[in-house]
Amino acid sequence: MTDRRTLANAIRFLSIDAVQAANSGHPGAPMGMADIAEVLWRGVLRHNPDNPQWANRDRFVLSNGHGSMLIYSLLHLTGYDVTIDDLKSFRQLHSRTPGHPEYGYTAGVETTTGPLGQGLANAVGMALAERTLAAQFNRDQFPIVDHYTYCFAGDGCLMEGVSHEACSLAGTLGLGKLIVFYDDNGISIDGDVRGWFSDDTPARFESYGWQVIRGVDGHDATEVETALKTARQDTSRPTLVCCRTVIGFGSPNLAGSEKTHGAPLGDTEIQATREAMSWNYGPFEIPADIQSAWNAREQGTKAQAEWDQLFAAYQKQYPDLASEFARRIQGDLPQNAITAFDDAIAETQSESPKLATRKASQNAIEVVAKLFPETLGGSADLGHSNLTVWPECQANSQDNPGGNYIHYGVREFGMCALMNGIALHGGFLPFGGTFLIFMEYARNAVRMAALMKQRVIYVFTHDSIGLGEDGPTHQPIEQLASLRSTPGLETWRPCDTTETFVAWKEAVSYQGPTALALSRQGLANQPRDGQQVADIARGGYVLKKETSALELILIATGSEVELAVAAAESLGGGVRVVSMPSTSRFDQQDAAFRESVLPAACTKRLAIEAGHPDGWYKYVGLNGDVTGMQTFGESGPGGEVMKHFGFTVDHVVSKAKAL
């Protein structure tokens, strides 16, 4: 039988060769972690290369995503649809092996990684999803949800603050089926990390409540195997396996140096490495015996067949649960849920009092939770301020692992990165709340959700200077513009209860992320007919039609819609008011509809929004104007702050008349 070091060398040399062919990439991490990967992927990982989406597969996350050739080599060797030609096209345009692992490009890649630390946070979310789903669906003798989440992470991942946020929460929640391998090679792209990273990492994780296995030789398969067995024996807490490794292991002249981190080894050093490691094969050449020893297709098919048999028995005994589990894993909407939501929307239009849209959102969440059992809500603290809690929600904890509400604590970045992992795992509709301004802490995780097209919902409240007394540190200005400019992210800023309910309905239906920007202050529900209610979902519509020849269009969102309506009444019958709760959704409409809302012939246009104005010029044109915010806000009562910055009927009327 081929020895384990030689099997691991298959990873090393595929990685070396691919990076060299691309003349770009990071060979050091795959070379350093190859021995660990061999132990995990050949001996322990339950997966099926013939069905990468098998529901009960173990999840594997390469958080140090710059080492992408590690996972591409593993996927190729174990039998996934990743060919030698795919490896040869590493980092090339439209290749299935992009520079960093990207979800949806490569079979077997569970999440997009690259921004360090986020893969680790995604893994925490996956482990949380696994435990919650198990608590909701498993029954005696039927553990249909029973898998581990494994993660590789490097020094860079652990330096990033999001790793602290995510791992601290993982320890508190006791996510015992999460196992993280720490690649402790002491090198980052700038060199020896001791000059800037001197943390006692094992003690740090012990303080989180993790099981920590110290001092494992990451190049000794037996030590790694023993550590992994120990890790799996304790399912009451997550485990960090601290593996001492050498970056670029095997390279005679560059191993242990940052020179292997982010650059090809070069032909001369590659040849020297082949000789040093007794790898007597050409570039991208894997001998048949080594390929056979790695292939996991037969083993994976058997593992899934056993699970399929278990699920068939479960289905027979618990048909309703089995049907619901299948629906949730597939991501299908519950039958009749949208029709029921439409009924709730109609009710809001006929009955709603003046409410802050954060309160209207809370009412909508209660509807969502009843119609969508997969709802898994939460907030980065502030739950009783951003109103993400609802009467029937149950806190998710070690004692109540099936709970449908997660107290994320003051961890905005961690929350949003965990939600990405939850969504990627499958079976849940995650949402999380914070103030809109604190979106900035989580910005990159929001971007990653959009990049991966994951259905997560952000409840961003206190959406403007209208929040008042907390002042400019808490008053968002540029955040709406930033969110709206993010490809694939749908941003809604509703003006009242009905628009809020429609925004929630669209969010749960959309196969991508949604941001809801919601007010602190109370907003009156606007009168509408049935067609206007239906048109809300189109992102922009005529809320108040002119009663004489059209002379002026006022465009507004959120709390400023009420202001626009009042100003229109002062300006006369030739004024139209357009509510535009979602610019991205409006932009997707056909030209005829957009023309019906914003006719080109009417060039006198004024947009009104208590946020940065630049994005509005695409709607008002060069002859139009914007009442917005060009500066940061001020501290004071919300109404006074709005007045100070010109969000009054008189000021809007004055600007409109000046057009």
DSSP letter assigned to residue 527: P
Q: What is the 3-state secondary structure (H, E, C) of 531-554?
A: HHHHHHCCCCEEEECCCCCCCEEE
Q: How far apart are CA 548 and CA 413, in angstroms?
A: 50
Q: Residue count of the chain, please give it.
A: 659
Q: Report residue 146 as tokens.
A: 């029973």
Q: How far apart are CA 501 and CA 32, in angstroms?
A: 51
Q: Report residue 534 as tokens.
A: 């239906």
Beta carbons of 652 and 606 less than 8 angstroms apart: yes
Radius of gyration of the chain, Cα coordinates, nearest whole angstrom: 27
**Burial state string for 544-566 with b = 16 or more CB within 10 A and e = fewer than 16:** bebeeebbbbbbbbbbbbbbbbe
- Cα-to-chain-centroid distance, residue 419: 6
- Give the pairing type, strands 575-579 and 429-435: unpaired
Q: Is 288 exposed, middle or buried (CB count within 10 Å of its CB: 0-12, 13-18, 19+)?
A: exposed
| Helix, coil or strand: residue 657 | helix
Beta carbons of 82 and 106 less than 8 angstroms apart: yes
DSSP labels for 133-169? HHHHH-BTTB--S---EEEEEEHHHHHSHHHHHHHHH
Q: Which residue numbers are catalytic?
A: 412
Q: How far apart are CA 591 and CA 499, in angstroms?
A: 23
Q: How far apart are CA 314 and CA 138, in angstroms?
A: 9
Q: How far apart are CA 530 and CA 135, in angstroms?
A: 42
> Which one-letter amino acid corresponds to residue 316?
K
Q: How far apart are CA 471 and CA 469, in angstroms?
A: 5
Q: Report residue 50 as tokens.
A: 């013939």
Q: Report residue 360 as tokens.
A: 């209207």
Backbone φ and ψ for 54, nearest 5 degrees, come out as -50, 125
Residues 6+ away with beta carbon under 8 Å from 492: 499, 503, 506, 507, 514, 515, 516, 517, 581, 582, 585
> Which one-letter amino acid corresponds to residue 489?
L
Which candidate, 26, 37, 51, 29, places its Cα nearest to that of 4?
Answer: 37
Beta carbons of 70 and 30 less than 8 angstroms apart: yes
Beta carbons of 486 and 447 less than 8 angstroms apart: yes
Q: How far apart are CA 381 and CA 603, in angstroms?
A: 45
Q: Report residue 96 as tokens.
A: 């299935």
Beta carbons of 575 and 545 less than 8 angstroms apart: no
Q: How far apart are CA 534 and CA 256, in angstroms?
A: 63
